[in-house]
Amino acid sequence: MTGSGAASIGIASGVAAVSGYGVLVIVAHVLSPARNADFLVYWSLLFALIGVYGGLQQEATRAVATAEMLPAVPLAPRRRSPILLWSLVVAAALTVLALAASPWWRSSVLVGSAPLAVLLLCGGGMVYSGHLTVVGIMSGRRQWSATAVLIGAESLLRLVIVGAAALAGVGLGGFEAAATASTALWLLMPLVSPTLRSAIRAPADAPPAQVVRRSLQAMLAALGSSALVVGFPTLLRLSSTTAEWATAAPLVLAISVTRAPLLIPLNAFQGVAIGYFLDPRRGRAAAMVRVIGGIVGVGVIGAVLAALVGPPLMGLFFGPAYRVSGVVLGALTLAAVALAVLTMTGAGVLSLAHHRAYAAGWLVAMAVSLGLVFAPMSLSARAILALAAGPVAGIAVHAFALRGTARAAGGSGGRSAA
């Protein structure tokens, strides 16, 4: 990856982070804390669903990057269907299932939202699956400038629409629609970008059945990651009473604020990381140590700053009703570090095409966190415990898989030398 490519992705990630913060600030100042808590559940569900579809991005990146490194092998014409087509087919099928099951899950999580929120949520997620697939294809091709433009433009558009909704005086439903509308931007971008036009036609590197199977495996793993990275407020909602949740908005905002500086850039860089770990010029283990060491160093500094200056900043940006203690903010930031490390170990495992180990790590993390979120503690205590312990368990699973691969490679090298 060139310096200009890294800079463009970094800028786009920064734009996405600032835009996300902007949305949260705007909504917090317009809605009451109780209604804002309902919006944060919708926001969490939307990005959890987008996170699940993120498996399509990761698989598209892996498939394209791998194909770029291998000699061209012609496929039969019937096998040359675009990657994007099969991503949308998978997303459409899952959307139908989610809508069919909505009578069972809507009443548990979207308590304060209108029925239209279900259509917005499922439809927006399905449309965004195309955005993610295109980003994955361009990442695999190392087309960083176009990737950055799409990521940054979509985030900025969301902020602009939410700002316009606030000026129009909308309520909860209006903000839910505004937060979802920008998911369709990628449908317009090919009109002005030859790179995107090429990406939407990029052929799959395998027969359709294999493409669908790999995509579903990556999405299964992404289920665990999205539940922890952006869907955690939904898990908290499931474990909270109505009275408890009415006062939960400050904690939920604190969770988002403390993790966004690490996780938004890392999620944008996942495709970059997979390509980085696949680069034969670098040792995979050394590359991972460098990346993880940097994450931990930045995270520890961030935790100290969050504990010291976080409380007044929360009050400044969101209002006095949203002040959270420095101890809670520092602990949440350290928990975000564990989640960021899990994200990178997952990218390392996925770069080896070990889809099962990748999925296992995230699903174990989700299971541990889900169990702890129902622990008999205060809301903030169980949130911190679940957010920290789950990722540590997932890291252990990924580390075991990576260690096994290293041993196998070492054994093969030893036999070859002999």
pLDDT tens track of the chain, all 418 residues?
566 766 888 788 888 888 988 999 999 999 999 899 899 999 999 988 988 998 898 888 877 877 666 555 555 444 557 889 989 999 999 999 999 999 888 887 887 788 899 999 999 999 999 999 999 999 888 898 999 999 999 999 999 999 999 999 999 999 999 999 999 999 999 998 999 999 888 887 777 788 888 888 888 877 877 888 788 888 888 888 888 888 899 999 999 888 877 676 666 666 666 666 665 555 666 777 888 888 899 899 999 999 999 999 999 988 889 989 999 999 999 999 999 899 888 888 877 778 788 888 988 999 999 999 999 999 999 999 999 999 999 999 999 988 876 565 555 555 544 4
User: Residue 221: beta bridge partners?
Assistant: none
Q: Whole-angstrom Cα distance, residue 262 to residue 257?
A: 10
* The two three-digit tokens of residue 396, written as one number: 């252990």
Tell me which residue has tokens 């296992």. Answer: 360
Q: List the domain boundaries for the chain.
A: 3-405
Q: Distance between CA atoms of 335 and 170, rounded to whole angstroms?
A: 35
Positive or negative, the CA dihedral 47, 57, 87, 154 is positive
Contact 102, 68 (CB under 8 A): no
Residues 6+ apart with CB under 8 A from 295: 262, 266, 337, 340, 341, 344
Long-range contacts, stretch 387-392, CB < 8 angstroms, 24+ apart: 387/228, 387/232, 387/255, 387/332, 387/335, 387/336, 387/338, 387/339, 388/331, 388/334, 388/335, 388/338, 390/228, 390/365, 390/366, 391/228, 391/335, 391/338, 391/339, 391/341, 391/342, 391/365, 392/338
Cβ-proximal residues to 339 (8 Å cutoff; 6+ apart), any chain = 228, 229, 259, 262, 263, 387, 391
